[in-house]
Amino acid sequence: MATKLDKQVQLDKLRQIVLDNDVCRDLAEQATNLVMGAGNSDADIVFVGEAPGKKEDEQGLPFVGAAGKFLNEMLAQANMDRGDVFITNIVKYRPPNNRDPLPEEKKEFWPYLLKQLQIIQPKVVITLGRHSMEYFLPGMKISQIHGQAKRIKFGDEKLIVVPLYHPAAALYNGGMRQTLIDDFLSVPKIIAKLED
């Protein structure tokens, strides 16, 4: 079985492959940093957001702005921190002016996200917002399935996906904020059930 260090080495190699393959050249040319993801390369939980914003682009790290602060608070409520999980995005360069990622940008990065998941082998993938949910659970509505564990299959890969609202959308919406926290706090129970 691959160790945490083996997995980190593979993730580092994947980063170089993204650069060598010139993935999303248009976005790359306007970005400061490639934001591949950060955290525990052997995590049980991987979060997948949309795309880096200004702060993330400057620092080369995911979720370091206001939405990231909220994510940290949620993790703390579940007695976790960033070192326990892995956090990434479906699109790994900042779209100009924080516009929504385009379908073709998500499509270009999708194989690299799947590769990250094949390396890390998490128990649960948590999608944050509809852009990453759409790819894992096409045709589903986040308002109807948030917080529910869904089993999906890609080729030989089996995944449990839990779609959550995006922390940026929930930041200034008290009801959605509490729903997001409640959904997230139910994830350890979902993992415990998987292990029964």
DSSP 139: T
Nearest CB to ligand URA, comparing residues 66 and 78: 66
| Binding positions for ligand URA, 118-137, rule CB under 6 A | none
End-to-end C-alpha distance for the chain, whole angstroms = 22
Contacts of 48 (CB under 8 A, 6+ apart): 88, 89, 90, 113, 125, 126, 127, 128, 132, 136
* Binding residue (CB under 6 A) for ligand URA from 63, 135, 165, 184: 63
Q: What's the CA gap between 125 and 111, in Å, rounded?
A: 15
Q: Which stretch binds ligand URA (CB under 6 A): 36-44, 46-54, 119-127, 152-160?
A: 46-54
Q: Do 137 and 151 touch, CB atoms closer than 8 A?
A: no
* Binding residue (CB under 6 A) for ligand URA from 11, 46, 67, 162: 67
Nearest CB to ligand URA, comparing residues 51 and 126: 51
Nearest CB to ligand URA, comparing residues 71 and 181: 71
Q: What's the CA gap between 89 and 127, in Å, rounded?
A: 9
Closest residue by beta carbon to ligand URA? 49
Write down the least CB distance from residue 1 to ligand URA, Å.
Answer: 30
Q: What's the CA gap between 169 and 166, in Å, rounded?
A: 5
DSSP reduced 3-state for 74 = helix
| Binding positions for ligand URA, 153-192, rule CB under 6 A | 168
Note whether 49 binds ligand URA by CB under 6 A.
yes
Write down the least CB distance from residue 129 to ligand URA, Å.
Answer: 6
Which token pair is 180? Answer: 């997001």
Write down the least CB distance from residue 61 to ligand URA, Å.
Answer: 8
Residues found near ligand URA in the complex (CB under 6 A): 49-53, 56, 62-63, 65, 67, 89, 168
